[in-house]
Amino acid sequence: MERRSILNSKIFKISRIYAFFMLLWAFPALAFCQPKADESKDKPFDPKEAIFEHIGDSHSWPVFGKIKISLPVILYTDKGLDIFMSNNLHEDAVYKGKNYNYILEKNKVKIADDNGKINETKKVWDFSITRNVASMWFAMIILLVVFGSVSRSYKKRAGKAPKGLQSVMEPLIVFVRDDVAIPNIGIKAAKFMPLLLTIFFFILLNNLLGLVPFFPGAYNLTGNIAVTLVLSFIILLVINFSANKYYWKHIFTPEIPLWLYIIMVPVELIGIISKPFALMIRLFANITAGHIIVLSLISLIFIFKTLAVSPASVLFVVFMDCIELLVAFLQAYIFTMLSALFIGMAVQEHH
Amino acid sequence: MDLVTPELGLVFWTTVSFVILLILLRVFAWKPILGAINERENSIENALLKAEAAKEEMSRLTSENESLLKQARAERDQILAEAKKIKDQIVHDAKEAASKESGRQIELARIEINNQKAIAMADVKNQVASLSLEIAEKILRKQFEDQKKQDELVKELLKDVNLS
């Protein structure tokens, strides 16, 4: 009876959401094939390279055209730390560091000898402040400043109606509390509110900044698998460390015939991982796909080498940006909502 | 494959930064903000409840006033009715008393009149008697002024006596 009611309510909703996002995924896959197929015969412009340069990470922060902000490169090798600025690092020339000589290959730092020959046997741990790290810090500073000031105005105007920035943020905060946390977690929601709010606003702001086509936006942080990995890993930890005995009982001793344990327990154990894993993939794929579509559409102009394509291209880009704007909010919401749902499933009292 | 291979550096910095962000926001933003929102919601709810209670109290007072007024009016009506009844009673009693008194007075008057009449009659009778006596005396005196007439009477009288 109880199982059926669960099936009817939450999981059914989740499956619908899954289906919806599967649809969203199908989209970019089609669009992505196009520029590849129409790849320019002339060598100079390679859309794949251009797109992946944007999607991926880099050691410097491009501002405008050739102007780039140098960022610290922090490398850990078997001889210790090596720190220098990224303007020293090149693809075609060796930089003599304290411990080794370094060269860039496909945006990755490698150890090389004096002639630029890459030594693959030596391992380099790259802890550089890359463009993504710098952008993330930029977004975090914005978050701290914005919510610091909002918090201050709450103190200043205690008990009064919200004003200015406060009145912009309050509906979002209240939305996360009343429509995301409380329906999914219940009375224990207050404990998880800081995490859910931080995740929501972190993803939302980075999604939105990622859509801004110029400095300091135009990065792909929430579409980076490392970032979504960290976020969903935090959720994984929170779920499993806040879980009560009913959660573990449901996993290890479900009320089913004994012979089904061989199937059910491994499935449930996989479920522990697969829930956050789905969060990771969903956010990563949605944001990356959106960026790829927009860049592919822009690339069309350069592929055909004619301005005639630009109206269509720009029109589609504007259309895609509108969708991306929606997706930015939607993904922040979905990530937070599903996190709340998973946490709620783990902390819910059995009844 | 590059796209789906997490870079260690970014994983490290994201973890460190996100945890710091979480702690900072938790302390400096979420706690005070959520606290303030909760407090305000509570105070608004309290205010609404109080307003509701005041409204109820108000309507209770109004209805009480009304009932008091109604009661007062009813009392007034009752008092008026009673007063009227008393007045009627008094008037009625007065009338009755008056009529009884007047009857008694009339009776007394009648008795008095009768008495007076009797007295007057007696008086009249006395007067008439004395008057008739006087008249008779005067007549007799006149009759018996001369001797001859007296003798004649005596003779007559004596004649009667002889017969007997």
Summarised one tens digit per residue, pLDDT across range A307-329 is: 888 888 889 999 999 999 999 99
Strand order, beta sheet including A80-85: A80-85, A72-77, A125-126
Q: For residue A210, which amino acid is it? A: G
Contact B37 A170 (CB under 8 A): yes
B3 contact residues in A (CB cutoff 8 A):
52, 55-56, 225, 288
Using a pLDDT cut of 70, give the percent of chain A over it.
87
Report chain A's mean pLDDT, rounded to a whole number: 82
Query: How many angstroms separate the CA atoms of B94 and B101, rounded?
Result: 10
Q: Which residues pair with A62 in a beta bridge?
A: A68
Query: How many angstroms separate the CA atoms of A100 and A169, rounded?
Result: 49
Work out the number of other CB atoms within 10 angstroms of the CB of residue A14: 16
pLDDT classification of B157: cutoffs 50, 70, 90: confident
Give the pLDDT of residue B164: 57
Which of A74, A198, A232 best tests the B interface by mutation, with the highest count of B CBs <10 A? A198
Asked if ipTM goes beyond 0.85, one says: no
Contact B17 A137 (CB under 8 A): yes
Query: How many angstroms separate the CA atoms of A108 and A260, rounded?
Result: 48
Tell whether the model's pLDDT for residue B131 goes beyond 80. yes
Using a pLDDT cut of 70, give the percent of chain B over it.
98
Tell whether the model's pLDDT for residue A305 goes beyond 80. yes
Give the pLDDT of residue A273: 92
A136 contact residues in B (CB cutoff 8 A):
13-14, 17
Domain count, chain B: 1
Token pair in block for residue B91: 């008037």
Average pLDDT over residues B68-80: 93
- For residue B134, the enclosing domain spans 2-163
A107 and A116 Cβ atoms separated by less than 8 Å: no
Residue A32, Cβ density class (10 Å: 0-12 exposed, 13-18 middle, ≥19 buried): middle
Give the pLDDT of residue A198: 93
A293 and A318 Cβ atoms separated by less than 8 Å: no
Range list of H helices, A212-309: 225-242, 245-252, 261-304
Residue in A closest to B2 by C-alpha: A56
Q: Which residues pair with A68 in a beta bridge?
A: A62
Condensed to tens digits (0 to 9), the pLDDT of residues A13-44 reads: 545 544 544 444 444 333 333 343 444 444 67
* Cis status of the peptide bond prior to A72, with omega within 30 of 0: no
Give the pLDDT of residue A238: 92
Question: What is the least distance, in Å, from the CA of A85 to any CA of chain B?
Answer: 16
Q: Judge if pTM exceeds 0.80.
A: no
Contact B30 A193 (CB under 8 A): yes
DSSP assignment letter at A121: T
Token pair in block for residue B96: 């009755």
Give the pLDDT of residue A26: 41
Give the pLDDT of residue B88: 92
Q: Which residues pair with A48 in a beta bridge?
A: none
A336 and A200 Cβ atoms separated by less than 8 Å: yes
pLDDT classification of A85: cutoffs 50, 70, 90: confident
Contact B18 A151 (CB under 8 A): no
DSSP-derived secondary structure for A125-174: EE----HHHHHHHHHHHHHHHHHHHHHHHHHHTTTSPP-THHHHHHHHHH
A122 and A78 Cβ atoms separated by less than 8 Å: yes
Lowest mean pLDDT among A52-61, A137-146, A179-188, B96-105: A52-61
Which of B1, B2, B5, B7 best tests the A interface by mutation, with the highest count of A CBs <10 A? B7
CA atoms within 13 A on the CB side of A113: 5
B17 contact residues in A (CB cutoff 8 A):
133, 136-137, 140
Tell whether the model's pLDDT for residue B99 goes beyond 50. yes
Higher pLDDT, residue A21 or A148: A148
Question: What is the least distance, in Å, from the CA of B41 to any CA of chain A?
Answer: 9
Give the pLDDT of residue A253: 82
Give the pLDDT of residue A306: 83
| Of A290, A304, A238, A286, nearest in space to A17 by CA | A286
Contact A151 B32 (CB under 8 A): yes
Higher pLDDT, residue B158 or A205: A205
Condensed to tens digits (0 to 9), the pLDDT of residues A230-262 reads: 999 999 999 999 888 888 888 888 888 888 888
Top-ranked range on mean pLDDT: pick from A111-125, A147-161, B137-151: A147-161
Give the pLDDT of residue A22: 45
| Of A253, A289, A294, A275, nearest in space to A335 by CA | A275
Tell whether the model's pLDDT for residue B34 goes beyond 80. yes
Strands A72-77 and A95-96: unpaired
B9 and A133 Cβ atoms separated by less than 8 Å: yes
Per DSSP, the three-state class of A77 is strand
Residue in B closest to A158 by C-alpha: B36
Contact B3 A52 (CB under 8 A): yes
